[in-house]
Amino acid sequence: MAGSEDQKFSLLEVLNTFKLCLTDNKEVYIEHYVAGWRGLVKFLNSLGSVFGFISKDAATKIQILINYLNGENGSHYVTAQSMVKYELENELVDITKRGSHPESGCRTLLRLHRALRWLELFLERLRTSTEDSKTSVMCADAYNESLAQHHPWVVRKAAGMAFCMLPGRPAFFEVMNVGSPEQVVAVLGEALPLISEVYQITEALYAQHNLLDLP
Ligand SMILES: CCCCCCCC/C=C\CCCCCCCC(=O)N[C@@H](COP(=O)(O)O)[C@H](O)/C=C/CCCCCCCCCCCCC
């Protein structure tokens, strides 16, 4: 299960990262957004290799954004808002079908953004769950309500099989490294509004520019 010490997941750490995500004027910092996802991928890795195909896809997308951020045009990738403006103004986004910009920042962030909705729904289910609730069912329900509609059959099938391998609620809470189940619930209650706000702001940005269906 758990990897080396520096790979240990801390829900509080991830929460703090999402706290840093918004600028004073409510733009989304890409640096902190991807750092939040990095923390979550760490958690996913600690659950075992059956989730490898999911964490690999997330890690690839995180790395694409980090490369933009650290690249020569990095100043345009500080926030999601500046990235959208820059990529659209410079025609760096494939809008209707995949073409010469298959890994634009906009489409890459959109994939993680959709996954953030899954996360929000899953965490809300976890927060309100009871001791005998099944993590696999909560995860699948959250997935079917969000990400699944963007995935082909084969991905949905593989994801569904992976969900069945999730540990039960007590073990799941343990890996979160927060403390008692009551403490986990409290931390989730604190984290959810932050995650939700970041999601809503990004959703509004993409909707405003008609980017919600990028190929
Ligand atoms: C607070 C702790 C509790 C929650 C911890 C959650 C940890 C989750 C960590 C990472 C989640 C992975 C995010 C996956 C991003 C998927 C992006 C995506 O949709 N990619 C697909 C489309 O990409 P393109 O082909 O267009 O480039 C791609 O096809 C996906 C492939 C992999 C399958 C993705 C299945 C996603 C299931 C999400 C649930 C993860 C289950 C985690 C269980 C705790």
Residue ranges per structural domain of the chain: 11-208
Residue 12's pLDDT is: 84
Query: What ipTM did this prediction achieve?
Result: 0.97
- Comparing CA positions, the residue from 116, 76, 109 lying closest to residue 214 is 109
Pocket test for ligand 1, best of 1, 44, 61 (most atoms within 8 A of CB): 44
Between the CA of 114 and the centroid of ligand 1 the distance, in Å, is 9
**Which two three-digit tokens encode residue 71?**
């690249």
Homologous superfamily of 11-208 in CATH?
Glycolipid transfer protein (1.10.3520.10)
Q: Which residue blocks in the chain are alpha helix, DSSP H? A: 11-19, 30-46, 52-70, 80-89, 105-127, 135-144, 153-163, 169-175, 181-208
- Comparing CA positions, the residue from 100, 72, 106 lying closest to residue 210 is 106
- Long-range contacts formed by 85-89: CB under 8 A, 24+ apart: 88/209
Between the CA of 172 and the centroid of ligand 1 the distance, in Å, is 17
Reading the chain (215 residues) residue by residue, the pLDDT tens digits are 334 445 567 788 888 899 899 999 999 999 999 999 999 999 999 899 999 999 999 999 999 999 999 999 999 999 999 999 999 999 999 999 999 999 999 999 999 999 999 999 999 999 999 999 999 999 999 999 999 999 999 999 999 999 999 999 999 898 888 899 999 999 999 999 999 999 999 999 999 999 999 99
Report the pocket of ligand 1 as residue ranges, CB < 6 Å: 11, 40-41, 43-44, 53-54, 57-58, 111, 114-115, 118, 139, 143, 147, 151, 155, 159, 166, 176
